[in-house]
Chains A and B, each alone.
Chain A
């Protein structure tokens, strides 16, 4: 395999991993605050359709991306009102949010099926982007890909290095304690849920504006669920979310390459399983290894909180 085709494969891997990374990072913050939102897929679709529709209508991709984040956040606000204010069951509400998002995005997007869009521009750095290998790998991406990497670092920094992050984790680990020392559990969780919605919206916008620049119903095809699994896979650490997203994206792309190269004598169905098998394998290794015991989920994950007076 030549260096050139290796670079092309890497570019595809990055593109396949980015929507997973956005959505999983958002969900990680949500879960760190003790809330389980299974509506990622629905919020991604809301983001995908609004990002696409606004970009096509106004011609401004920046506006489209902002609207995608807003649409994801808006849908997550519905989830927040139901589960945080009205203390509805989070699992059921999240599932309903996914189904609602699928239907709503199809309705909004019905006029945009078959409409072409200009893909997000690649931000080339003159001189540097032309360097072999390093140029295209590091300096030839669109803005959302850079944003996803920055967001990983940002979320990691926020959770471990800031007071806000500490409060958020405290709320997720022990809502009663956080409440009793004066933090507003519900407010913190609202902010986390809104952030998660916005990130899912960005994941969707990346799908409809960059990865496959078009709108088609249910175009996320289950990536929201993969993102949810990646959060568990990462044992709630942003760095491992990045690793997981790239591993999953990488194995997905490599199995497609293996098929194209004649399949190595392995049935296509088995190759299609590889990303999932690889994810399970890594998860098992983490669980059994010296990191054992540090896998644990936020203690209050999924539990509704009713402030005692």
Chain B
């Protein structure tokens, strides 16, 4: 079911919730399905970020069948509108609400305080409450695998990178990629173009064209549409898919893709609510936990490179390799992380500097 968040629905929803609370109580009937709500920042058809979360929602439905009912609201603007939508979900009998964008953090926190019995899960934030968990994925681990492949495949030594906004999440990805690529080939340069949008296919594609014209033969992106990869395909260079397997758009160009896999986490948290074992937590999962996965390698990745990429992935999973292990120099050549030292989670999560080789 899709909810259109209009004032009328909101009023009806509130009335229904008030009735339910006053008369029967939401948990009075064991047979009543648990209602799980999702708040999305983009359209489910973006083939990227929101699409990935919606796959997770569908996985819940497939896994629990009649025991669970899911709803979603898409294209919710970050800000006051989000609070209204989240409150509407909370007040219309939802027992578990996932809000899936960084900008939903404060609205989710406020609504969580008003509805202590409803469980909230917020993606990519850092604020928790007794009934509010946060979860995030270490996408930058996938960038290590990408960087390893790029270091081998590039001929020009110039990598183009379409960024959305210069926030830590994106910066750490650029850095993890660059470090891994320069480990293979130390002269690699990573040129970053900011689209200043998470989703503008036209601009992402134009940025990619600009980078190809400046000599890039590998295209990376931290935006949500397949446009940059599509440019890679038409210009005969290579690149990496973002958030979902984009090989349909770039059968030759896609080397691999970083996949966001929320299914396992969403199913587990829904199960926790059903079992009444849900507890507030803050998790940051990666390749090891399966929240980040790599798509099958494309035809342009030679066998020996596949093995190295596998080794990089396995190293991260086993803990033998860390994306941010010293020595790491910044853009100006100043040593930021000493030999053998590993950046802490907090230092990674607040990263606001670029490693050597990044041109941003």
Contacts and interface: CB of A to CB of B under 8 A. Distances in A.
Interface of A: 5, 8-9, 12, 15-16, 19, 106, 109-110, 113-116, 119, 207, 211-214, 216-223, 252-253, 256-257, 259-263, 268-269, 272
A211 B191 CA distance: 23
Interface string B184-203: 00000001111011011111
Contact of A272 (B42, B196, B227): B196
A213 B206 contact: no
Contact of B201 (A5, A119, A216, A253): A216
Nearest to B246: A114
Interface in B97-114: none
Contact of B234 (A119, A219, A259): A119
A253 B209 CA distance: 9
A221 B210 contact: no
A19 to B, nearest CB: 8
Main secondary structure of the interface of A (DSSP, over half): helix
A5 B47 CA distance: 31
A214 B201 contact: yes
B211 A212 contact: no
B319 to A, nearest CB: 35
Contacts of B227: 212, 214
A268 B194 contact: yes
B166 A216 contact: no
A261 B192 CA distance: 9
Given A8-B213, A212-B230, A213-B230, A223 B45 contact: no
Contacts of B210: 9, 12, 253, 256-257, 259-260
A212 B201 contact: yes
Given A5-B213, A214-B230, A268-B194, A113 B206 contact: no
A221 B202 contact: yes
Contacts of A221: 197, 199-203
Given A252-B206, A268-B194, A219 B248 contact: no
Interface in B52-97: 75
Nearest to B209: A12
Contacts of A109: 45
B281 interface: no
Contacts of B206: 12, 15-16, 252-253, 256
A212 B162 CA distance: 15
List the 5 shortest-distance A-B pairs measured between CB atoms, nearest first.
A217-B43, A268-B194, A221-B200, A113-B45, A256-B210
Interface in B105-144: none
Given A15-B206, A216-B47, 16 more contacts: A9-B213, A16-B202, A109-B45, A114-B47, A211-B205, A212-B230, A214-B226, A216-B45, A216-B46, A218-B199, A221-B201, A253-B209, A257-B213, A260-B211, A268-B360, A272-B194
B202 A207 contact: yes
A137 B38 CA distance: 48
B359 A262 contact: yes
B37 interface: no
A214 B45 contact: no
Contacts of A259: 192-194, 207, 210
Contacts of B214: 5, 257, 260-261
B225 interface: yes
Given A257-B210, A260-B210, A262-B359, A212 B45 contact: no
B298 interface: no
